[in-house]
Amino acid sequence: MSFDEIKQLLIAKFGPDTIINEETSGMQAALIIQPDKISKVCLELRDNPETYFDLLECLSGVDYGIEENMFGVVYHLASIPYKKQLTLKVIKYHDRTRESLPSVPTVSQVWRTAEWHEREAYDLIGIHFEGHPDLRRILLPDDWEGYPLRKDYKAQEYYRGIKV
């Protein structure tokens, strides 16, 4: 299935508001999906015999910059039988208040590999994944403060009495 056919398939299945936008300028075209529908879209893309994206290659949390206040999650899907790749994106606006985190539904029930990737995105970027079964820090210590890959990150001065 080509990129446009996948787009049509998703619109037919989940309604025209599923796809917010698309990026076709680069070498790898991407679909920007409405955050609430991402797990349904992923399940459909995995199980539909014509798309069959059975492998989640990469899941990356992104902080798009301080001025935009925009966070994103990028999904790189691959289909082993069709040898195709597809990029999906989810965008969330968030004002970086300390009280809450930008929140995106989990896809860990679709691909189990997303579980660790989402933990990593939570750990380093500070994106909360709704419905994730085991959302803990993965690379940093459990009591670390802040999210290091955010653009406004400042490292804490001391960690357990040790200068950082």
Residues in touch with other proteins (CB under 8 A): 23, 25-28, 30, 54-58, 60, 62-63, 65, 74, 76, 80, 83, 85, 87, 111-113, 115-116, 124, 133-141, 148-149
Closest by Cα among 94, 103, 92, 111 to 41: 111
Structure tokens at 13: 């299945």
Cα dihedral sign for 64, 68, 73, 78? negative
Give the nearer residue to other proteins in terms of CB position, either 5 or 134: 134
Give the nearer residue to other proteins in terms of CB position, either 34 or 60: 60
Asked if residue 88 lies in contact with residue 107, where contact means CB atoms within 8 angstroms, the answer is: no
* Closest CB 55 distance from other proteins, rounded Å: 6
Structure tokens at 86: 């597809």
Give the nearer residue to other proteins in terms of CB position, either 30 or 104: 30
Structure tokens at 83: 């040898």
Asked if residue 115 lies in contact with residue 123, where contact means CB atoms within 8 angstroms, the answer is: no
| DSSP run (H or E) holding 55 | strand 55-63
* Closest CB 129 distance from other proteins, rounded Å: 12
Give the nearer residue to other proteins in terms of CB position, either 12 or 20: 20
What is the bridge-based pairing of β-strands 84-93 and 70-79?
A: antiparallel
- Write out the DSSP string of 21-38: EEE-SSSS-EEEEPGGGH
* Closest CB 12 distance from other proteins, rounded Å: 26
* Closest CB 34 distance from other proteins, rounded Å: 19
* Closest CB 121 distance from other proteins, rounded Å: 9
Give the nearer residue to other proteins in terms of CB position, either 9 or 135: 135
